[in-house]
Structure 1
Amino acid sequence: MEAALGSPPTLNMYAQGNAAPLGASGPQLPLGGLRPLASARAWPAIALIKYYFRPSQSQVRPFIALGVNYTWYSNIGLNPDSSQAAQSFAGTGGAVRSSLSPSWNPVIAGGISYAFSEHWYATASRIYFPLKTTATIRSVASNGTTTLTNKTRITADPITAFADIGYRS
């Protein structure tokens, strides 16, 4: 059994084109100039099944792994210009609410483990998981009525590097 903890990365989201919340004849918000459009902390929990190419007594052990990832998000923030545009639909006393849906994703990894001694080891690996989420931005009036809802599908293809030092009993 293996467990790892780390600091969740900040996911910056960029877009191209224009947002037209009222349709093509309504006001346009050019998205390309909003760098980034939004950001969030991504919490990717990953479970892997590893296959090692050498026996457990070997000092150097390359491996491949397959698994599953569950990602959820916190600290979601919109670019100030985007937030202001959404706030104009909420009106005075209203609010802008944004969310990212959690998702399950496949994972593939490869790396190497190096044994310093009988108990101490180091591991380095690269991990890939195609990340998918749905972003929802809602403008809510002061009376609680949703005045505008905008949803978009977001995909990312992160390749992360992982390194650790561990102890086996």
Structure 2
Amino acid sequence: MKTKFLALATLAALGSGSALAQKAGDWQVGAGWLHFAPQDSSKPLTFTSPVAAVVPGSGASVGTSDTLGLNLTYFIDSHWAVEGVMGVPPKFKLSGEGTLGPIGELGEARQWSPTLLAKYHFNDGEARFRPYVGLGATYVWYSDVKLTPGLQGALANRLGLPPSALSATTAKLDSSFTAVFNAGVAYQFDPHWGMAFSVSYIPLKTTAKLTTTARGFPVATSESSLKVNPIVPYLAVTYKF
């Protein structure tokens, strides 16, 4: 009788472990806190027309941002998985540095960066705790790019235009493909629910291209290159089905 009880207990334990398994064909969704921490640097603002000229000592910095992150993972087998990650587009604020420092905030933009990762999970598929590494790519573009009145006025002054004659200065940020390097850990609470924490590094740079118009006519263009290079922690609750 005792032997039969031990055998049943062993089978129950094995059944419980296999229920936690991450195996070929499994899907997992996740949602949580996505944080962008730029490791930024910039080149001076440079006028490209009507005359090429550098604004000496000028620079800009990008603030941090938080948003809701979403991910969907498909397990090719118990170790390899493909994951798509997307966040509600975070809003970044750009502040002046150096000679642009007195202006304060220069502008803002929303960043779109859907990401596709190939991930390798360590430990067996039945393990509750599984470290992983990932490598992938993202396509980054920007929307809702706005410049502050402070920057608009500074550009008008630099060009010798009275503010009343300045129609607008608009900006565009270049889009780009770039690599994503990722590492993290996952913990499975039960057959369905779990938690994951990862950190990604994105070697990202963009160029802001500005066009200044007066009385409806373009009078000057300028640009500045910016390295953003964000470190991106992501803490998510996951559900496997």
**Is TM-score (shorter-chain normalized) higher than 0.5?**
yes
Q: Evaluate the alpha carbon distance shift between residue 78 and residue 33 of structure 1 in structure 2; reply closer, same or farther with a 3 A threshold.
A: same
* Number of aligned residues: 156
- 1:104 and 1:15 map into 2 onto residues whose CA distance is 26
CA RMSD of aligned residues (A): 2.1
Structure 2 letter corresponding to 1:156: V
Per the TM alignment, residue 53 of structure 1 is displaced from its structure 2 partner at its CA by 1.1
* Corresponding residue of 1:142: 215
What does residue 72 of structure 1 align with? 141
Given candidates 85, 99, 104, the residue that maps to 2:154 is 85
What's 2:56 paired with?
none
Counterparts in 2 of 1:24-39, with a 5 A limit? 30-39=99-108
2:182 corresponds to: 109
Q: In structure 2, do the counterparts of structure 1 residues 85 and 35 end up closer, same or farther at CA, with 3 Å as the change threshold?
A: closer
Which of 213, 221, 224 is 1:152 aligned to?
224
Aligned to 2:117: 48
Q: CA deviation at 1:3?
A: 4.3
- Conservation of the 8 A alpha-carbon contact between 1:126 and 1:161: yes
Residues in 2 aligned to 1:111 and 1:131: alpha-carbon distance in whole angstroms: 21
**Match for residue 20 of structure 1?**
none
Over the matched positions of the two proteins, sequence identity in percent amounts to 31
- Tell which has more relative contact order, 1 or 2 (C-alpha 8 A, sep 6+): 2
Any gaps of 5 or more consecutive residues in structure 1? 18-29
When residues 103 and 150 of structure 1 are mapped into structure 2, their CA distance, relative to the original with a 3 A threshold, is same
TM alignment of 1:10-25, pairs within 5 A = 10-17=91-98
Deviates more, 1:95-104 or 1:71-80: 71-80
Code of the residue aligned with 2:148 in structure 1: it is N
Structure with a larger share of its residues in helix: 2
1:128, CA displacement in angstroms?
0.8
Q: TM-score, normalised by structure 1?
A: 0.81
Q: For residue 153 of structure 1, what is the amino acid of its counterpart?
A: S
**TM-score w.r.t. length of structure 2:** 0.58
* Letter in structure 1 aligned against 2:140: T
Equivalence for 1:161: 233
Give the gaps of 5 or more residues in structure 2.
Answer: 1-73, 75-82
